[in-house]
Structure 1
């Protein structure tokens, strides 16, 4: 049996660690946890928890010894079942061999310091992972907790979110020297987090710090290694209604919305039939970034945002940019609207996972080329002119994408006098898409 004890966010060790340690033959944990484990026998082996592989090997070797050698005890920060060591232990030794004592995670503690619920928060780990997923989640959702790591801390997160309008709450050394002063610190942190303006606010007790900063302020500082978690908040939406399901809001009940659900100019909007297939080929999802080029009304951008993606809409007219923003606000989503002409403005944008192109004129082949070179996954192009199809297809293929497409022709039910119905044809639209092939290694698709 392996006993896993979550130590929460600080020391001393929790009370239930004492009994487990008293019968331990092998204790695995961080240096500070091992130093605090005063009840373990002097004969117990100690393994400092750094890289996982050596620690797991040491546990496996100990489990091969006779049972009377004592139990294995693993001391892990926070809640070991929440982005913690329980996953690695269960994969290696089987969940049935684990006895887990949960602790309070850094995420729960950070939100507690602010006096905020976190059942409606999205939690994303940037520890040992690409920061771009965390950035995209922060751009798309109003309440996000980011578990940090080397190279993926407050400074890097702040630099990527400078123009987002978000507030970052940086929690450092959570639980360090925590005392009965936690209540006053919590209240101070909540007041700081709900403040206005760009002044930094902070709360601390005995080494713990909870600081409210703008992304630009976060980017300008050296935070050191003590950061536990960063909360990224849209302060206008930190309090949500009562929830039934925890985590990000459930996906929309429907998509490919009627054109009448968007403000648009002279019917210049991607029709819902075209939008439905475009969304299917774009596959917008949580943690990804989508471009909507030649956004017009922003109907595709808004729908991608409703499905959880971070979205940047590029529109060359000022009134179009305002229309995109108005439609995003009306549907309760965040869309970054950029005023400018593609492909010129694209070089300044973060790379996308998927791109929708709904405009372009004579520049369309150049726009498709620029987008296809940067898209990680797919590019979808809608066009009415037959003459542009070959050039667009060539641009997608030249960028290394697998290309396919259809001509969409639909007829909608339309009423006639006398309580009868006719079919009203919509304008035909070509929809082409390019998908990046899977990376192959040693002849095997990944």
Structure 2
């Protein structure tokens, strides 16, 4: 094992809050007191103007910060930043650029942490974003599946612009908080409906928090340009998070191809959720019939709404629990089974009894335990049984770089029922 030892003096990165020098820990005040050079933006340097160290102002250009630190590396230099330097701060970029061994990071409480504390909401599951380096479109996508969102806004994208954009996408089911100047004497927390926030202006130092109202389903954007399959998730009305999230677009496309639908196919969608698979199956099998089977009354209502929005006449929402719910339905050519319950193997066994010879079945499974059970069943009684793992990542823009955030993997187990022997 080799140890990496830097020959250059350590550069301290110290976080500071809006309450200034008085709010720092004894460790941070000692480091700043010993500094020969303090680098930072003019606003944070104002908190340490009484110290004797040389003050070097820098802007937001990361390259400029690197050059400044390199220029003063022979001295005892401190980079002073706001809040936690490792939370949407400059530290990660500098450590990647110059090496972690060059730095020692002394964090302060981040303004995001303070904001959630002020409104007394947990932030462990919240979607957090900095609009300085992430597009507002990524927030719109996250809003459809998040219970809470925390945003560092910018002068170009202030809270009123965020509120207007959310309202423009029919995402009006959030209660909004705008926390200004946190930790300072003129701290202010404003709360209200999005339409109220959209009419107000706020100071540049703010954190915006959106908290989803309880029991409000998502609403789709305009259906203009809808596709026969592979429609964006946004165009379907769907349940709130953790109740009935629909089959994602990429998984839906693969599942529909594995079902090998014909234009006159009879299709069962068991555990239909919001009905996205049913609706796209109906648009492909336009001369056939699709039955969206769902036991949750709320989701059943959403299926009916989505059917109406897409104007598909051959899709029928069926309220009930399998297998009783399909007792009077015609035998299917294709079956799609979703859900995460332990009973999925039993549901597959019973569904296979009704599947027409030569018909195809696809089960969407998220756990490896259910995967093993269902694959063993299909491998025993079906032809061409196979498993497809779908692992999708989408790009996000952070600190001048594109990174990929992975969704949870899911498994599609598929097979064809043998033809009857003559």
In structure 2, how many angstroms separate the alpha carbons of the residues matched to 1:169 and 1:37?
A: 30
Q: Is the 8 A contact 2:130 2:152 kept in 1?
A: yes
> Does the CA-based 8 Å contact 1:82-1:105 persist in structure 2?
yes
The answer to whether the 8 A contact 1:275-1:300 is kept is no
The question of 1:424 aligning with 2:400 is answered no
Residue 91 of structure 1 is matched in structure 2 by 96
Residues 1:47 and 2:57 aligned together: yes
Determine which of 19, 30, 35 is the counterpart of 1:24. 35
* 52 and 12 in structure 1: CA distance in 2 versus 1, 3 angstrom threshold: same
Determine the C-alpha separation between the residues in 2 that align with 1:52 and 1:106. 21
Shift in alpha-carbon separation, 1:301–1:160, aligned structure 2, 3 A: farther
CA drift at 1:426: 7.5
Would you say the 8 A contact 2:45–2:55 is kept in 1?
no
Q: Aligned pair in 2 of structure 1 residues 112, 415: CA closer, same or farther (>3 Å)?
A: closer
Match of 1:298 in 2: 274
Inter-CA distance 425–129: structure 2 relative to 1 (3 Å threshold): same
5+ residue gaps, structure 1, are: 178-206, 238-261, 264-271, 283-295, 303-319, 343-358, 362-407, 430-437, 439-445
Given the alignment, which residue of 100, 116, 119 partners 2:121? 116
Aligned Cα RMSD in Å? 4.5
What's the CA shift for 1:31? 1.8
Q: Secondary structure at the match of 1:34?
A: helix
Match of 2:175 in 1: 167
SS for the counterpart of 1:236 is coil
Q: CA, structure 1 residues 339+76, in 2 after alignment: closer, same or farther (shift >3 Å)?
A: farther
Q: Does 1:12 align with 2:17?
A: no
Post-superposition CA distance 1:352-385 (Å, at most 9, x none): xxxxxxx599xxxxxxxxxxxxxxxxxxxxxxxx
Equivalent position SS for 1:116: coil
Please say if 1:57 is aligned against 2:67. yes
| Gap regions ≥5 residues in structure 2 | 1-9, 216-237, 240-246, 258-271, 279-291, 315-332, 338-347, 362-394, 396-402, 404-422
Question: TM-score normalised to the size of structure 2?
Answer: 0.52
CA distance in 1, matches of 2:306, 2:297: 7
Does structure 2 retain, via aligned residues, the 8 Å contact 1:23–1:41?
Answer: no
Q: Distance in 1 between matches of 2:306 and 2:135?
A: 25
Q: Deviations over 1:205-242 (max 9, x none)?
A: xx11111121111112232423x2111112438xxxxx
What is the TM-score when the length of structure 1 is the normalising length? Answer: 0.49
Structure 1 residue 113 displacement after superposition: 0.7
CA distance 1:147–1:301, change in 2 (3 Å): farther
Q: Which residue of 1 aligns with 2:214?
A: 236
Equivalence for 1:218 = 197
Contact kept in structure 1, 2:275 and 2:306, CA below 8 Å: no
Residue equivalent to 2:184: 176
Q: Could you tell me how far apart the structure 2 residues matched to 1:81 and 1:297 are?
A: 39
Contact 2:273 2:300 in 1 (8 A): no
1:257-300: CA deviation from partner (whole Å, max 9, x where unpaired): xxxxx99xxxxxxxx9x995526799xxxxxxxxxxxxx97333
1:185 aligns with: none
Given that 1:146 and 1:230 are in contact with CA atoms closer than 8 Å, whether structure 2 keeps it comes out as: yes
> What is the count of residue pairs matched by the alignment?
263
Q: 5 Å matches for 1:135-284?
A: 135-162=140-167, 163=170, 164-177=172-185, 207-226=186-205, 228-236=206-214, 277-278=252-253
